[in-house]
Structure 1
Amino acid sequence: MNLSWLRSRNFWIVVALLAAVALIVAVLLMWRPAIAPIERPPRFDTAQIQRGARVVEAGDCAVCHTRPGGEYLAGGLPLATPFGTLYSTNITPDAQTGIGQWSLPAFERAMRQGIARDGHFLYPAFPYVHYRRMSAEDIADAYAYLMSGPAVQAPARQNQMNFPMNIRPLVSFWNLLFLHGEPLTPLAERSAAWNRGRYLVDGPGHCAGCHSPLNLIGAEKSSEYLHGGSVDGWEAPALVGLGQQANPWNREQLVDYLRADVVAGHGTPAGPMRPVSLSLARLPASEADAIAEYLLSLKQPPTVTETTAPTPVAPASTAQGALLFSSACAGCHGRAAPMRQIDGRPPLESTSALHAASSRNYLKTVLEGLPAAPGAPGPQMPGFAASLDNQQLAALAVYLRQQARPDQPWADLSSTIEALRQEAK
């Protein structure tokens, strides 16, 4: 092999040029200019502020940007991700710690590109991948609403991201791979309600952020759109094929569930879905109805499933579970319980959590309960993490699963209970 070329001046010139080009490309990818600060706009049209309030509710902004006990939209909520913990930011119009100095173009850039006013990259836990599909009018209305609210001084908390994701400019390469899509346009062959539902699901509602599986670097798997995911230790169920399940949904049930009601045959939202449904309940019912029409149109692709003989259930387990149910649950969920009539408490064997393939959501509901939402109507339930041990939890789950799906006993009970106990620590 002739090594003279490697020692030549021309070779090193080519290497230097390639390195310079790579550096320039990297800088162009990882740098964004700041947008000049502004004085907070003095006023907006009342009708636009009202429209913006609905957009902010549809986008679940308060769900992430309001910590428990904190000021509305002032941030500070910890968001656990596989790459570390983020803290949501202050989106009130405070000039120093919020978005009070942001112009509409700066706000729209953040919503569509994930770039803050000062030019730093936002982490994709902020769902700009979906918000970029919103209309310019909705983004402007949301801006008007946020800038018209009370300013709260609340400095951002320090994120605790793992290396290398603590280097924000690297998000630019994530964006290069996954930040695609334009504002949604209606499909002429579909109804106005269907198009509205699609817009809410794929735009401000960003439903796929929880209800689609993620790849190794935290992007949604587009080939498994709404096929189910996980969030905060809960399983976010698949939203395709809702009308095809063994315990199918109809439109009325889904609308009521989306609006945080107790639904016969399915129960009521719990975990991270609870605040989302409470936000939807503050919107016109037509919004939930549109979402239901769209979701029920999504069919589950045919799959081949292998049938296996059910695992026998020990009589001792069901007997203990029945006793635990009568002592801890029957007061609200038993056949003759007054709360079944007064507060619409569901029979547990008909809830979606007890029909799910995994026991995780059922067990988390029992362990954590269903806390009351301040200022909002709706059911509540105490948590039993301290009063039931692992063996009792398993026995109760075995008993109730046998009422719901006697042909499919849960095989993951022990491992799931242990995992949930560890997560709680």
Structure 2
Amino acid sequence: MTARPLGSLGRLLAEIGHRSSQVFFTTVLIQAATFVLLATSALVLPTEQSAALSLIVATTMLSSAVLDFGLSTTTTRHFGKTRDDGIFSAAFAVRLALVPIACIACALLWLSGAKEVGLGLGLGALQNVWNGARATDQARQDYESFLRSSIAFAIIRMAAGLTAVVLMPVPVAIAVAMYALPLLATYWSSSARLPRRGSTPFAWNRGLTRYSAYVYVAGMSFVALPYAPQLILSSGNNDATMATYGVILTFSGAINLIFFSLRSVLLPMMLSADGRLEHALWSRRGLVATTCLFASLVVVGIVLAVGMQFLYAGKYPNILPSFLVSFVGYAATATIGLYSLSIHTKGLPELNAAVSVLRLASLFLMSILIPPSLLAVVSYVAVAMVSSELILALLLARRMTR
């Protein structure tokens, strides 16, 4: 399926609204299922098991990003520029090949005693297959397939997860129900069937490898920032702190995933909308719109903080200030990050990679200098995320004015 031609700016904005509403709806469904399961698990499981589930989830999300190798963004940009769908089959073959390799590593880690990390690695490889199918639907702008498969994914995740919470309330069963069984939803994805239908023969080239490498460096540093604190906090041997951070990540991390879906809608459209959408984003009206969006998210964060204090203050007494810092940091990062889409329209992934190296250095310093205190860690992560996105946006602004 190919994108429909875009006409006037008004029709372009209407198309963005329609597609974004579809992505927002399905993302909310999936995140609602994830939120209900993790929030319920935090109430049901003992603190030690809740911390274990938090580590599995963190490892799953991190490993799925690691195993992407920058393919999602690179394939989107290549298809947007060339309309060559052969790259999707090549990327899908890579993702499938990684599953047995990750499963072997999972078994070895499990036998060595690192059960949570091993399971997260295996589940991350499966999650990577789903992420690839979803990203391909968005790159091809096949939103019927995207909507159909995403609804199926949310239903399967919710049904399987609740069954595990009720019948087998242990971290391993809950994690498998949340991240392995929903892979069945790829049956309803047209993009997942591309390799079986056959597509244009594709030869990977050095330029694509270089582009993927830059995207990969940037992606790894960004994904590592919110999840690396799990490892830092674990050094303090405080299960309550670990579990508290897991709950915070459940709430504030939803912003990142929602904005990721929005970015996935905007990028293929920016690649095919002859600069009008990008110009609108960088205009004064665009700046006002993003500022209002950030302010709205801060209000939402305050409301959520009050609710979390009511639900979790007894079990996690230090959750309120840490959650507010984390949520505002995520909101600012996600809002400013919309401007970094111009990296791919201008073909400047090396710029993002350079800023990301600084982000990785910051992460390394955090692991050495920051004490395993929840508020200190989330504050440092928030500052690192926001400052790096702001630096990148300012560098891009100079390029946009040339």
Same fold? TM cut 0.5: no
What is the TM-score when the length of structure 2 is the normalising length? 0.27
Larger Rg: 1
Kindly indicate whether structure 1 or structure 2 has the higher relative contact order, using CA contacts under 8 Å at least 6 residues apart: 2
What is the TM-score when the length of structure 1 is the normalising length? 0.26
- Higher helix proportion, which one? 2
